[in-house]
Structure 1
Amino acid sequence: MNTPDSPLIPSFAPVAARLRIVLVGTQHPGNIGAAARALKTMGLSRLVLVAPEDYPAEEAFRRAAGADDLLGDAQVVATLADAVSDCHFVMGCTARSRRVALEEHAPRQAGERAVHAAAQGGEVALVFGRERTGLTNEELQLCHAAVHIPANPDYSSLNLAAAVQVLAYELRLALLALQQAPVPEAPHPDEAPASHEHLEGFFAQLGDTLDAIDFHKGRTPDSAMRKLRRLYLRANLNEQEVRLLRGILADAQRMARLARGPAA
């Protein structure tokens, strides 16, 4: 029987290092400290703070209860796009259905998918929103999937740090299960999932191209772009595929310019 020190069990530390928890617009510094404590108890260490309202703060370090190192190493950025620009898979924690339709996972499935993506060499983020209002539709638009914790519907108000603890525990279970599995072979760089930054560049170019060919014909582009985002996110595009699609879009834009003729 394998023991924790057995060489047959690969360390999951490199995989855990590719998992990050992102807190967006946190209002109470105590929740930041409690979230750091939740991560450390589950062997996770990467915390990213997006525009926290009150940080650094003494209350955060007091609530961290020994996880001061995680707070000291926490990255603070201005926007969610900055926090996940190098990520290959992003999941947003949300308590209710939104206008932005995303594939939805229960915590256990979310943990397994996140760890699987990280084991393949990708950077992965689990994103949590503000205490009172959660993530905006615009922020959820930057996520590839949603996570919903099935709390008591009669009292579903889950504290931010408690929600982080639930997902951190599921990540821990998935990491422990990974120790019993074969180490996956890292994909070739061209076959690796496209980064969030590259996908967003593709979506921006796609939107510009649809405008250039008058695809919307006066209709609002929002609905079509939401559907197209979901379609391409389901395809799990790699870097090579994104470059191919962007090349097609560039040619379509060139032909649109030729069709319009010289500028007046």
Structure 2
Amino acid sequence: MHKPSRPLGSPDTYNDRIRIVLVETSHSGNIGAVARAMKNMGLGNLWMVNPRSFPDETSYARAAGASDVLDTATVVGSLDEALADCVLVMGTSARGRKVPWPVMPPDQAATAAASHCGQGTVALVFGRENHGLSNDELQRCHYHIHIPSNPDYSSLNLAMAVQVMCYELRMNYLKGLETDARRPYLEPIAQPGDAGWDVAPASVGDVEGFFGHLQQVLEEIDFHRRDKPRQLMARLRRLFQRAKLDQMEVNILRGVLSAVQKTAGASGVEQSTSDTGPQAPEQDQGKSHV
């Protein structure tokens, strides 16, 4: 029916002890999508309680490269079997109950899972596509997990709900790797100087050289006049400083300015005040003397 894939390898204690439990899943495609969501986030411990159809071609087709999660999945006949050896059980719930139960959002649930997995297996239980977990099944959970979706359209696809929780588990796991080489992947890459940026930040001297070159070109093409400077250069300086240029970007901009000078010189273009017509307000017309 399918080609066996490589085993998951040797997952560490955290990932191995997080058990995703699907209860009476109706659509085998959802099982494959769940396997994909799990493997995306480094998880591989999948249990199923009475799935309608598994294994089959549809589940493996939807797994899209996560067939190893399906190969090692455990199928049992009851929820009791899936939870018997667990130290903590959390079930997803989209609706309120007559008897209030401890409820956590996904990020707090991930933290709770991390704090207990050192003691043993932690189960995250997901219910049926059409009506979720029954009241009896939810009462077997220590905590309920509520994903705060749009109240006007709160029903999540099974694999989407699993993906939300697997993502939170992954983030919690990575945040705990303070000295691990994978830790930097959590840090943003937003500007030169950040780990992962490809070019060093431009120095103050490089940027000042660019500003001088820019003003020179704007004067040469009669866009900027020293006798009526207004706030043009101040605003352009603010713009480019806000951009936090790197060395390559400064070189590119200087190259553009040199090309403008070369082209303007070759064409013999010499603008004057009379050529541009009436001067428009600074904010209303970009091609004006400011």
Equivalence for 2:124: 126
Equivalence for 1:91: 90
Report the 3-state secondary structure (helix = DSSP H, G, I; strand = E; otherwise coil) of the residue aligned with 2:52.
coil
Distance (Å, rounded) in 2 between the aligned partners of 1:73 and 1:171: 20
Which runs of 5 or more structure 1 residues have no equivalent in the other structure? 1-10, 182-264
Q: Is the 8 A contact 1:47 1:75 kept in 2?
A: yes
Distance (Å, rounded) in 1 between the aligned partners of 2:76 and 2:33: 20
Equivalence for 2:194: none
**Is the deviation greater in 97-106 or in 150-159?**
97-106
Equivalence for 2:191: none
Offset, 1:29: 0.2
Equivalence for 1:112: 111
**TM-score between both structures, scaled by the size of structure 1:** 0.62
Q: 1:68 to 1:100 in 2, by over 3 A?
A: farther
Report the 3-state secondary structure (helix = DSSP H, G, I; strand = E; otherwise coil) of the residue aligned with 1:88.
strand
Equivalence for 1:176: 174
Offset, 1:140: 0.8
Equivalence for 1:15: 14
Distance (Å, rounded) in 1 between the aligned partners of 2:133 and 2:40: 25
Q: Is the 8 A contact 1:100 1:137 kept in 2?
A: no
Offset, 1:12: 8.1
Offset, 1:163: 0.3
Distance (Å, rounded) in 2 between the aligned partners of 1:16 and 1:152: 30
The root-mean-square deviation of aligned C-alpha atoms, in Å, is 1.7
Count of aligned positions: 171
Equivalence for 1:50: 49
Equivalence for 1:102: 101
The structure with the largest alpha-carbon Rg is 2
Report the 3-state secondary structure (helix = DSSP H, G, I; strand = E; otherwise coil) of the residue aligned with 1:82.
helix
Report the 3-state secondary structure (helix = DSSP H, G, I; strand = E; otherwise coil) of the residue aligned with 2:86.
coil
Offset, 1:21: 0.3
Offset, 1:178: 1.7
Which runs of 5 or more structure 2 residues have no equivalent in the other structure? 1-9, 180-290
* CA displacement, residues 6-53 of structure 1 (integer Å, 9 cap, x when unaligned): xxxxx9822111101000010000000000000000000100000001
Give yes or no for the alignment of 1:75 onto 2:74. yes
Aligned residue type for 1:125 = A
Equivalence for 1:146: 144
Identity percentage of aligned residues: 53
Offset, 1:122: 1.9
Q: Is the 8 A contact 2:48 2:75 kept in 1?
A: yes
Distance (Å, rounded) in 2 between the aligned partners of 1:178 and 1:146: 24
Equivalence for 1:216: none
Q: Is the 8 A contact 2:87 2:119 kept in 1?
A: no
Equivalence for 1:41: 40
Offset, 1:135: 0.3
List structure 1 runs of 4+ shifted beyond 4 angstroms: none
Q: Name the structure, 1 or 2, with higher relative contact order (CA <8 Å, separation 6+).
A: 1
